[in-house]
Chains A and B, each alone.
Chain A
Amino acid sequence: MIACQECGHNNPESAQRCESCGAPLGPALYRECPACGALNAAERSTCSRCLAPLTAPPSGADASESASDSSFTQDEPTAGAPQEDDPLADLEGLLPPAAVPDPVSQPSRFASHESSEAERDDAALLHRIATEPAPLGQVRREDAPTGRERMPDGIRWLLYLLVLLAALAPLITGNRGQQWESPRPQTLLLAEAVADIAPGERVLVAFDYAPGYGGELDPLAERVLTDLARRGAVLVAISTRPEGVGLARQVLGRVATFAPDYRYGANYVILGYLPGAERGLRLATQDLAAILPHDDVLQMPWEQLPAMQGIGTLNDFEATLLLTDDGNSARRWIEQVGTQVDTPTYALATARIEPLLIPYQQSGQLAALVGGVYGALEYPLEDAPERHDLHSTDGYLALLGVFFLAAVLANVVPWRMHQN
């Protein structure tokens, strides 16, 4: 029998993939970096892109130990240094494992509170939701039975069906739910800052999100960038991820069609991919051409483009617009760039990481912080580009209903049904 490294299920010797959760059973060929999503050779111990530690696959024999997320269970909840063997490790999770309430490896640590296995599973699950970046290679089943307790299948299917219906709700109702009557202060702050940008002023736009989150962030990005473009601002795109370059082309290409006579090279530029995480950002604040010699579209030295005259470092822009779906890359921008430039940084973040960035907004390091889910609906823009996927309030109402039902069911369904 081969025990699955992901869920502990025992599989026949001939199995290539786990029968229960679908995870590959053989020795892994490559591993996805938990921090930045880069693919790494299986034998690497640190990520080739960001140097974050790649957690060693737990030994297949000890299925019960490997049941929950290995990076989570190994950590010690002491003094916020969860992975002391590697310096860059705990950098990579804005929410360190220690933040999860139940001490995992030594349950008796807090005498007053002994956690059950199921509670630990829940904590691990939450931790994963809160800290894992979008899966690059594979989506693990978050609900794979990791402990003694699992969801009854009937309830799972019911909830899945309801989520699907909730997402389709706006199609059925025609999305009649009203928008916010009063936009949030942060959205207004951003809109005011955009209104203050004079024609010809240059704004740096960091496309630091995965295309996977485009469904949430694209509508907001499009509105804000269209507003800027119509005001005559010059938009300069950059990304610390390769895929951010493709996104920049996608989004700015659309924005250029909404603003009159908005041309590449004169009004907007896509600089490209900054390698080396902290290193690339650091160098860009010192000497932009040293780290990024060419632009992406024309593949020529960008100093020759009319839009880039007089630009030498990231400090030469009026403002930075940080589009992000990842707390770590956002934190890197704040730490490496925000501390080096005098101009304001505005963050447009996914709802998922918005809470993680709130302390930076409260401390003034982010001049404004707007979430993708509501920002696109609230951001005031006349004659805004039409989109089919503009976030639907009817759907959110239905989602709240599903969550409410889940909360009720979780506590009404008899305990016995949750045992394996």
Chain B
Amino acid sequence: MPLANIGNLIGIWIAGLLTLAVLSYILGDNPVYRLAQHLFVGIAAGYAAALAWNHVLAPRLTRLVQAPAEAWPVALFALLGLLLLARGWRPLAALSGIPLGLLMGTGAALALGGILTGTLVPQLAASFVPLAPAAYGGGVMGWALALDAAFLLLCTLAVLAAFQYHRAARGSLRLWYRGVQAMGRLGRLVMMVAFGAILAGAALSFFTILQSRLAFLVYEWLGSLAELGL
């Protein structure tokens, strides 16, 4: 048997045992599960760190060593990185605000720009659809689609109303508040429909993954026994 195949076979066996170890959690927490859990956290953290090193830090530091004049910004980043490391050391603690401010500032600015151009404006634009049946070709179908569009708009507004909260209103605005409150109640029902869809989706996702793990155990793990002639 070639070496690669042996490696693969060993891998399948270990994967099978680890799968069983994690599945044992259904019966309750146990040392075997905890071992698998710690193994996983270690591998995941080590893998992420290696990738961060290989793809982000190493190429830049190499460039800095090879061509310091061109790669001067990397030196600056590295300096900021050192300040981040020095966060616990008093004399430099104040300066650690610079890298943190850089992280915050870029994150907030990009989040602001992204949410404005990528979510708020397009989603608002998509909410305001024509409500006239003629816009949908008229006839029974036109009416049906126009009704759908109106219902979509009503439901969206209702969900937004569900976010609003106010105390018992008095005076001239009482009727308005009551209207908003009623819309909010409808909004919560609409959200429950969305949650129902999400719950069903989550159940399907997790169940599919469970199926695939069991298929692995049956076909590949036990199947490898047949390969060994057992």
Contact = CB atoms under 8 A, between A and B. Distances in A.
Q: Taking the complex as a whole, does A directly touch B, i.e. does some CB pair lie under 8 Å apart?
A: yes
B106 interface: yes
B106 A130 contact: no
A167 B126 contact: no
A4 interface: no
B55 A351 contact: no
A231 interface: no
Interface stretch (A191-199, A259-267, A275-283): A275-283
A104 interface: no
Given A242-B51, A292-B55, A339-B117, A88 B165 contact: no
Q: What interface size band does chain B fall in?
A: 35 or more
B208 A168 contact: no
Interface in B72-95: none
B191 interface: yes
B202 interface: yes
Interface in B202-229: 202-216, 218-220
B45 interface: yes
Given A98-B163, A216-B212, A363-B123, A294 B55 contact: yes
Given A137-B37, A372-B208, A373-B208, A167 B118 contact: no
Interface string A364-394: 1100000111000000000000001101100
Residue with the highest number of chain A CB atoms closer than 10 Å, among B48, B125, B168: B48
Contacts of B48: 38, 242-243
A315 interface: no
A294 B54 CA distance: 9
Contact of B165 (A109, A242, A272, A351): A109
A80 B120 CA distance: 13
Contact of A79 (B164, B207, B208, B220): B164
Interface stretch (A7-15, A56-64, A66-74, A328-336): A328-336
B208 A130 contact: no
Contacts of A352: 198, 201-202, 204-206
Contacts of B56: 273, 275
Given A139-B25, A294-B59, A336-B110, A163 B122 contact: no
Contact of B195 (A130, A371, A392, A395): A130
Given A293-B63, A296-B55, A389-B215, A403 B208 contact: no
Contacts of A171: 214-215, 218
Contacts of A109: 165
B221 to A, nearest CB: 11
B98 interface: no
Contacts of A332: 114
Residue with the highest number of chain B CB atoms closer than 10 Å, among A111, A138, A351: A351
A365 B126 CA distance: 10
Interface stretch (A303-311, A353-361, A408-416): A353-361
Nearest to B106: A279
Contacts of B117: 335, 339
B111 A87 contact: yes
Nearest to A371: B201
Given A245-B51, A335-B118, A163 B198 contact: no
Given A17-B29, A351-B204, A391-B211, A99 B103 contact: no
Nearest to A403: B203
Interface in A237-294: 242-243, 245-246, 272-273, 275, 277-279, 282, 292-294
Contact of A365 (B108, B118, B188, B210): B118
Interface in A78-94: 78-80, 87-88, 91
Contact of B45 (A39, A331, A336, A391): A39
A359 B126 contact: yes
Q: What interface size band does chain A fall in?
A: 35 or more
B55 A130 contact: no
A216 B209 contact: yes
Given A242-B52, A359-B123, A388-B215, A130 B37 contact: no
B122 A363 contact: yes
Interface string B105-129: 0111011001101110011011000
A215 B214 CA distance: 10
Contacts of A205: none
18 contacts: A38-B48, A51-B104, A80-B163, A88-B111, A109-B165, A110-B165, A163-B207, A167-B207, A171-B215, A242-B52, A245-B55, A335-B115, A351-B208, A352-B204, A371-B201, A373-B204, A373-B208, A399-B207
Interface of A: 17, 21-22, 38-39, 51, 77-80, 87-88, 91, 95, 98-99, 101, 103, 109-112, 126, 129-130, 136-139, 160, 163, 166-168, 170-171, 212-216, 242-243, 245-246, 272-273, 275, 277-279, 282, 292-294, 296, 299, 331-332, 334-336, 338-339, 350-356, 359-360, 362-365, 371-373, 388-389, 391-392, 395-396, 399, 403
Complex A-B, nearest 9 residue pairs according to Cβ-Cβ distance, in ascending order = A335-B118, A215-B212, A335-B114, A22-B29, A389-B212, A242-B51, A363-B126, A215-B209, A352-B205
Interface of B: 25-26, 28-29, 37, 40-41, 44-45, 47-48, 50-52, 54-56, 59-60, 63, 103-104, 106-108, 110-111, 114-115, 117-119, 122-123, 125-126, 163-165, 168, 181, 184-185, 188, 191-192, 194-195, 197-216, 218-220
Given A51-B107, A350-B205, A373-B208, 19 more contacts: A22-B29, A77-B163, A87-B107, A103-B165, A112-B181, A112-B185, A136-B41, A138-B37, A215-B213, A243-B48, A243-B51, A293-B63, A299-B54, A351-B202, A352-B198, A352-B204, A352-B205, A355-B194, A363-B122
